[in-house]
Amino acid sequence: MPGRVAYFGPAGTFTEEAALRYAPHGELVPRPTIAAVAAAVVAGEAQEGVVPIENSLEGSVTDTLDLLIHQSNLFIQRELVLPIVHCLLVRPGAREEDIRVIYSHPQALGQCRDYLEHRFPQASAMAAMSTAAAAEQVQKSDHPTAAAIGTARAAEIYGLSVLARGIQDNPANVTRFVVLAHTDHPPTGDDKTSLCFSFSNDTPGLLYAALGEFARRGINLAKVESRPTKQSLGQYIFLIDLHGHREDPEIKEAIRRLQAQASTLKIFGSYPRYVASNG
């Protein structure tokens, strides 16, 4: 069972909600950045860390991808998928027509863009470090013109009122979180593997040949994307999620063949595929 679990905080964020679902009886340890969550696990201050990695509307969380690629030797041990329900939070007594500035994390602002443009065309959208930090900023404000986009739990923590609930533009808005640990997960029979690779030379057909190692073996690729190497313009690292465990014979052979073609290859981990609860 999880003991101390670090998460991208503070309290009142969607990451805290994901951490609570993953480890309802664990000791949750908030950290101010994604990198700080990983550092807490590396230093032994926590056994595991929960961070966001992908949103269904806004795409990948680049801080988490860059951490996995460049900075961390931790593995993905689990994945969690959480429905995202954004709320408009205000000081008690504030009215919709009073609002002139709305604070939130840039991802949350992006996920509510249409709502904000239609309901608050004159209001300024201001970035905050997190949805919880936005709620705290509204709490500390002396003006009823400030609002925040955040969680219902953040409203409870910071003594705010929920003026509107479910304001995200797409009702299918979900965020995928991953649990970082010193090891990944043993095979379960229904797994996913995440890895990245890059090439030293740019020649026609390189990526086609690399991905073909999986296609020829009937291995499904759930996700393919790229990130800059941060070394030179036009050089990229390719990231893939595939169905199966890195110890499965076909996947193990495909990765071995890919490694022979790539200049770098890093396995982020194999872990059970998330399955939504019927409850």
Catalytic residue among 177, 197, 238, 268: 177
Q: Any catalytic annotation for residue 175?
A: yes
Q: What tokens does 263 get?
A: 């200049």
DSSP E strands in the chain: the ranges are 4-8, 27-31, 48-55, 59-60, 75-83, 87-90, 101-104, 124-127, 146-150, 161-165, 174-181, 191-198, 221-228, 236-243, 264-272
Q: What tokens does 127 get?
A: 């970035």
At which residue do the structure tokens 């996920």 appear?
Answer: 111
Rg of the Cα atoms in the chain: 21
Q: Any catalytic annotation for residue 177?
A: yes
Cα 108 vs. chain centroid, distance in angstroms? 12
Catalytic residue among 75, 175, 197, 268: 175
Compute the C-alpha angle 251/176/114, nearest 5°. 135
What distance in Å separates the CA atoms of residue 102 and residue 135, rounded to the nearest whole number? 10
- The catalytic residues are 175, 177
